[in-house]
């Protein structure tokens, strides 16, 4: 498995856990400290980390193609 595919898989899994039955307002409430949900917070952090990893790789690939 490549780093890219591992990142995509981790992102999909975290995203599905984080948004399984929640609306964006739940994530917004979590970010603003209005709601406490440790499981959602953990899944959301995993999703953000995977997204940052993928964006970083995309930027590296883009820079290499110039």
How confident is the model over 1-54, as pLDDT tens digits? 566 565 666 666 666 665 555 667 777 888 899 988 888 888 888 888 888 888
CB 37 within 8 A of CB 30: yes
Q: What is the pTM of this model?
A: 0.48
Enumerate the domain spans of the chain. Answer: 2-64
Per-residue burial over 27-46, b = 16 or more CB atoms within 10 Å of its CB, e = otherwise: bebbeeeeeeeeebeebbeb
Place of tokens 């959602």: 40
Contacts of 39 (CB under 8 A, 6+ apart): 17
In angstroms, the Cα distances linking 35 to 22, 32, 54, 66 are: 13, 8, 28, 44
């Amino acid at each position: 498995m490549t780093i890219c595919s591992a990142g995509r898989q981790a992102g999909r899994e975290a995203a599905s856990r984080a948004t399984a039955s929640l609306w964006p307002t739940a994530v917004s409430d979590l970010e603003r400290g209005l709601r406490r949900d440790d499981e959602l917070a953990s899944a959301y952090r995993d999703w953000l980390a995977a997204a940052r990893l993928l964006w970083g790789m995309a930027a590296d690939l883009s820079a290499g193609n110039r």
